[in-house]
A and B are shown apart, each in its own frame.
Chain A
Amino acid sequence: MSTKQNKPSVDPVIVVMLGVVFLAVAIAMIIFQPQSNSIDIAANSGVMSQLVVAFVTGITTGGLSCLAVQGGLLASSLAHQIEQDYVEHTAKHKKSKHQETVRTNSALPISLFLVAKLVAYTLLGALLGWVGSFLTLSPTTRAVLMIAIGIFMVGNALRMFNVHPIFRYFSIEPPKFITRYIRRTAKGTDTATPIFLGLLTVFIPCGVTQAMMATALGTGSALMGAALMFAFTLGTSPVFFIVAYLATELGSKLEKFFMRFVAIVVLILGFVTLDSGLNLMGSPFSLQNMTRNWFTPQAAANASADVPQPVTAAEGEIVLNVENGGYSPAILKAPAGKDLTLNLVTNKTYSCARDFVIPDLNFYELLPDTGTVQVNIPAQEVGSTLFFTCSMGMYTGQIVFE
């Protein structure tokens, strides 16, 4: 018994999926290419590097994280298609008991949803960048935002694991008037719903997206904000597409497996975001800062043995190398009770490490990719610690005053 006689020999879902993946890879290659010739385009390297980071963040973590938050909207875009396929299928096979094997054409709605999402977030990025040109999001505000996002993500993961009914409230239900409006206006069409819902995703950004939105805001440029959000959203698309495709096409068993997998990833990302927020707040209780403290004697010993220590510390100057992979040394020792100058040295540093923050001093500066920036540090008490971090809370370190 054939279910669909005029089914094309090549599954359009696979074609579109491959198309999206190739497009993403091609853009990644275009972005990466100038990075390798960064000497020639020094002025633009920081921009390119930010776009690469945005794209890689999207392709690695953003996709799954977004799916956890926006999965409902995507599923809604597919619902109409699935429903239509179901109706067609049952009309053809009224006596069939295998209703769950209905094959759906989910490629089109997923693609429309993702394209609409890409457009919406690019425009949002432009808007944020433009707004950012008027205001600066302080590291503390960003930290609070990240902690809230982290809690939201962890709550969402626990909801997926069905830990407790309370976690259901971490799932955002679109307002009734919106869902009703969408349902009624999209009735009878296959394209309006996914496009509209794709656009609506801007109202429920996932944690990673929100962090990226904060970064877009921080660019202070409409063009850069748009480019950043475009790169990020494009990066999320293949993962989004593949997971959504698998979730809708491979049946409920695999869907459950995938949702568990997504839940685990979101849980981890939630803790990472939470930890980044704590880092950005200069909290000694972040995982990074706590674990560094646990191994302080050893780490400090290693630091003094392996890394050139600030030879002029006694004279009031300390040096911190800001590298693409973080800060070196991660633990700086400095004399207490006297004003100090911290020399931040960058040398072809294009990662977010150069977005340097000392939360307790309320110091925040985007360092040049190559050069030295001096920071005045007022006298600190013996035994006190100043934590420093990048603006995303990823790379951290500390100055211990003795």
Chain B
Amino acid sequence: MIKKTFKIPDMSCTNCAMKIESLEDDLEGVKEINASYHKLEMIIEFDEKRLTDDEIVAAVKKKGYTAIAA
């Protein structure tokens, strides 16, 4: 398990953070996601053997946001 921070500059409200956090339930290999609208970022704890950065970025994009590895 590793923890990574992604910047998400296009969050516009607290609901965006909640939507991004719902990836916890959608993505295989994710243990926890803490998204913050205040900081425009998400901290994701995941199994790097089951999930790649690109897959995370793609999943965030599917939610309507842009994730940039910090």
| Interface set of A (CB-CB < 8 Å, partner B) | 71-73, 75-76, 79, 83, 165, 168-169, 171-174, 176, 179-180, 183-184, 187
Point out which of A83, A171, A174 has the most chain B C-beta atoms below 10 A from its C-beta.
A171
Taking CB atoms, residues of chain A closer than 8 Å to B15 are 71-73, 75-76, 79
B14 at interface (Cβ–Cβ under 8 A)?
Answer: yes
Return 26 A-B CB contacts under 8 Å, by A number: A72-B13, A72-B18, A73-B15, A75-B13, A75-B15, A79-B15, A79-B18, A79-B22, A83-B22, A165-B40, A168-B38, A169-B38, A171-B37, A173-B14, A173-B17, A173-B36, A173-B37, A173-B38, A174-B14, A174-B18, A176-B21, A180-B24, A183-B22, A183-B25, A184-B25, A187-B25
Q: Are B13 and A71 in contact (CB under 8 A)?
A: yes
Q: Which of B1-55 contact A (CB under 8 A)?
A: 13-15, 17-19, 21-22, 24-25, 34, 36-38, 40
Report the Cα distance A172→B15, complex, angstroms: 10
Report the Cα distance A277→B13, complex, angstroms: 28
- SS class of chain A's interface: helix, strand, loop or mixed? helix
Minimum CB distance partner of B39 in chain A: A168
Given the known interface contacts A180-B21, A183-B22, the answer about A171 and B14 at a Cβ–Cβ threshold of 8 Å is yes
Report the Cα distance A183→B22, complex, angstroms: 7
Shortest Cβ distance from residue B50 to the other chain A in the assembled complex, whole angstroms = 21
Taking CB atoms, residues of chain A closer than 8 Å to B34 are 176
Shortest Cβ distance from residue A62 to the other chain B in the assembled complex, whole angstroms = 20
Report the Cα distance A172→B40, complex, angstroms: 14
Report the Cα distance A168→B12, complex, angstroms: 9
